[in-house]
Amino acid sequence: MVVAKRVLMFGPPGSGKGTQAAVLAERLGVPAISTGDMLRRAVRSGSDLGARVQATVESGLLVDDDTMADVVRARLAEEDAHEGFLLDGYPRTVGQAETLRQILELRGEGLDAVVLLDVPTNELVRRAVARQREDDREEVVRERLKIYAEKTSPLVAHYEQAGLVRRIDGTLSVEVVTAAIEDVLGVG
């Protein structure tokens, strides 16, 4: 089995995308790229991008598609992403999925897999509130879940039609979830 290296980590806020991407990046030898982490770093650094997106990120709303296209296009052009990537938090809208398709098409590439982490809502809220990030207040977490349901979850059907979705039970321990993902990606 060929190892999947151009991978989307998909699932609602708190489903474990970032946790799993960090572990898998080392095993696959490709970078874990979290758009949420990139935006939070920009806010902390006080850059122009950070100043523009701060209020949006802290209220749990989505940053606009054009800004995100610039962020992702620049990051995927970096050398460490030439052989593959684990993209966590992008795309989140139909427009972003189209932008990603165009970016990859220009490179003569496509996605290998979309890993979908399944976790029920009550567990998502419990995990996020326990973590206490700036945007992890319960009302903000619920807003992020609502936006996921409205704007992001429709992408699952889109990628299912393309035969890319690998559904994983995200309620199990971190180690068991990692092993399940490695299995579907052909690692090991």
**Calpha distance 127→124 (Å, rounded):** 5
Minimum gap (Å) between residue 128 Cβ and ligand AP5 = 6
Binding mask of the shown chain, residues 127 to 156, with x at each position contacting ligand AP5 by CB under 6 A:
xx--x---x--------x------------
Minimum gap (Å) between residue 2 Cβ and ligand AP5 = 26
Q: Which residues are catalytic?
A: 17, 92, 131, 133, 144
User: Is residue 10 within the footprint of ligand AP5 (CB under 6 A)?
Assistant: no
Out of 27, 50, 54, 63, the residue judged to bind ligand AP5 by CB under 6 A: 63
Give 44-97 as a 3 state SS string: HHCCHHHHHHHHHHHHCCCCCHHHHHHHHHHHHCCHHHCCCEEEECCCCCHHHH
Binding mask of the shown chain, residues 85 to 124, with x at each position contacting ligand AP5 by CB under 6 A:
---xxx-x---x----------------------------
Binding mask of the shown chain, residues 69 to 88, with x at each position contacting ligand AP5 by CB under 6 A:
-------------------x
Torsion angles phi and psi, residue 111, rounded to 5: -80, 150
Cis omega (within 30 of 0) for bond into 31: no
Which residues bind to ligand AP5, rule: CB under 6 A? 11, 13-19, 34-36, 39, 56-57, 60-63, 68, 88-90, 92, 96, 127-128, 131, 135, 144, 170, 173-174, 177
